[in-house]
Amino acid sequence: MKTQLETAFNLLTEKLQGWLNAFIEILPNLAIAITVLFASYFTAKYVNKLVIKLVSKKVEQKSITNIVARIATVIVVSTGIFVALGILNLSKTLTTLITGAGVIGLVVGLALQGTLSNTIAGIILSFRKKIQIGNWVETNGFSGEVMDINLKGFVIKEADNNLVIIPNKDILEKPLKNYSLTTRMRVMLECGVGYESDLDLVESLTKQTIANTFSQVKEANEVEFYYTEFGGSSINYLCRFWIDSENALERLKSKSKAIIEIRKAYDKENINIPFPIRTLQFDNKLALQKSGTLQEEFSNN
């Protein structure tokens, strides 16, 4: 028994001694490999900045610049990893990793079809000229400024300063309204005036007020004004005019300003903007008849 223990101990010692010798032999290569990895990391950061600087001179779209820079960074880091493995004489391991990566990539690709579709959609969106970072867009029930288009999602900053991250595939599959593609927007304002109002005066006053309020409207004739219906308590109209704007927030501000100025103009001319009124009518004759019926019943009793 003692002999067997000594033999096992000797084998273990020889094994550990062999590993130590191998580690000492590979130590210089290990140091070089680690140096290569660090060098590839810092080189990737430098290449990222350099690519952004060079591509931005040729391409105006920031999304394309960001995508190209990210791809260049991945290539540099991957190259550093492969070189480090080669320095460590792990060529067989490298081949095994590449083969395994192919098999694993197929499995992962089937399992993460949604993620891959978002990645592909992100690349497609990055090359679309009509969707750029800084545009004001409306899509999937959200509206705001495009902050980033990456391989994961489409980032929008809304007017309330909240960030919304939308999957790239949803951007491609659903309609998108880009307010920044045009320099003009039409503001639509609905209101109503009392039935006693002079409708010709209301129309001319509203048009003139809009023309005086907004510098983009040069003449009152440029303002569209249409009476739309006889409402329950007012005669309703629709007023439309154009402003110079590239986002929906400016349109909201313009609409708010128009409402304020129109209200002031109506107050000066004593034009009423009525609120809904419900009139309840009680038939007095019917009440008297009921009262008489009750009296007859009491007298008969």
d(CA 35, CA 48) in angstroms, rounded, equals 20
Residues 174, 232 share a domain: no
Which band of pLDDT confidence, cut at 50, 70 and 90, is reported for residue 229?
very high
Residues 68 and 152 in one domain: no
Residue 6 CA to residue 85 CA, distance in Å, equals: 38
Q: How confident is the model at residue 294 (pLDDT cuts 50, 70, 90)?
A: very low
Q: Is residue 288 part of a domain?
A: no
Task: Note whether 107 and 6 are same-domain residues.
Answer: yes
| Percent helix, strand and coil across the chain, each to the nearest 5 | 60, 15, 20
Tell me, yes or no, whether 79 lies in a domain.
yes
State whether 30 and 85 are in the same domain.
Answer: yes
CATH number, domain containing residue 165: 2.30.30.60
Strand order in the sheet with 235-244: 184-193, 235-244, 224-230
Residues 186 and 167 in one domain: no
162 and 200 share a domain? no
Give the CATH number for residue 248: 3.30.70.100
Residues 161 and 184: their CA atoms lie apart, in Å, by 24
- Four-residue CA torsion sign, 43, 45, 51, 54: negative
Decide if 42 is inside a domain.
yes
**Does the predicted model carry a pTM greater than 0.85?**
no
Q: Which residues contact 32 (CB under 8 A, 6 or more apart)?
A: 87
Question: Does residue 93 fall inside a structural domain?
Answer: yes
Look at the chain and report how many structural domains it folds into.
3
Q: Which of 10-14, 33-37, 66-70 has the lowest mean pLDDT?
A: 10-14
Which string of DSSP letters, residue by residue, matches 50-72? HHHHHHHHH---HHHHHHHHHHH
Mean pLDDT of 101-118: 59
Going by their DSSP bridges, the two strands 142-149 and 153-157 should be labelled as antiparallel
On whether residue 64 sits in a domain, the answer given is yes
The verdict on residue 228 lying in a domain is: yes
Residue 139, domain extent? 131-179
Question: Are 145 and 237 part of one and the same domain?
Answer: no
In this predicted structure, the answer to whether residue 217 has a pLDDT above a threshold of 70 is yes
Look at residue 110 and tell me whether its pLDDT is greater than 50. Answer: no
